[in-house]
Amino acid sequence: MLMTIGGLIVAAILFTISVYTKRTWLRNFVFGGVSVWFVFYFVMLVGFSATSEEKDLSLNEPKAFCGFYLDCHMHTAVTDVRTAKNIGNKTAVGEFYIVKVKVFSDAKAATLGLITVDAHVVDADDHTYTRDMDAEMDLGPQPEFGKQIGPQESFVKEIVFDLPADVQQPRLDIREGYGIDHAIEAVLVGDEDSILHKRTYFKLEGQSQTAALK
């Protein structure tokens, strides 16, 4: 991506020179070079995505978030999963999954935080389940996913999903970034959010059973 941006700047300069100097050969060279590069880039983009594989992370296995600037310092990991039929005065339609997520940074100096986190569960049939925010409120005060943390700092947040009692292979997908970030990462070679790229999930199996949480 950085080579592409730099190459486009150089191409724009050369194209401007070709226009002012009326050098047709230079103009054709710029168009040809840019066309060849974009074909090569598209092949790289699709090729990396096509050969990518889904990953299922177990408890305490971290997932890194890199973003466009490739600063892969922020991480999340699922450290515990519990199930319960009731949380406070709320009863699950199926079963509550209480997922404890650790957010941490391995930065040397910078204070960082996740941006606009989307956390949802996907099952074996590709059904998607969003967080039960009302049930989460009954767990007590929780830090926001976007909390800024310093070097080597961390925090823990519990999130809740109301999943069917017979749900098969529930997996947590955590994604972060603004809309513009996703648009850029969609064409970033090798990025998890690039076109057709497989995702990294957290397994929500092997959980402990809790009768009720108050």
Listing from the earlier edge strand, what are the strands of the sheet with 55-57? 55-57, 200-203, 171-175, 118-122, 128-129
pLDDT at position 90: 92
This prediction's pTM = 0.81
Q: In tens digits, what is the pLDDT along the chain, a chain of 214 residues?
A: 677 778 888 888 988 988 888 888 888 898 898 899 889 989 988 898 888 889 999 999 999 887 555 567 889 999 999 999 999 889 999 999 999 999 999 888 888 889 899 999 999 999 999 999 999 999 989 999 999 998 889 999 999 999 999 999 999 999 988 777 767 777 778 778 888 889 999 999 755 566 556 5
Measured between alpha carbons, how far is 34 from 39 in angstroms, rounded to an integer?
9
- Coil/strand/helix, residue 49: helix
pLDDT at position 67: 59
CB 211 within 8 A of CB 85: yes
Question: Domain-by-domain residue ranges, the chain?
Answer: 2-50, 55-213
Give me 107's structure tokens: 């930065």
DSSP H or E segment with residue 60: none
pLDDT at position 204: 92
pLDDT at position 68: 56
Fold type of domain 55-213? Immunoglobulin-like (2.60.40)
DSSP H or E segment with residue 103: strand 90-105
pLDDT at position 156: 96
pLDDT at position 152: 83
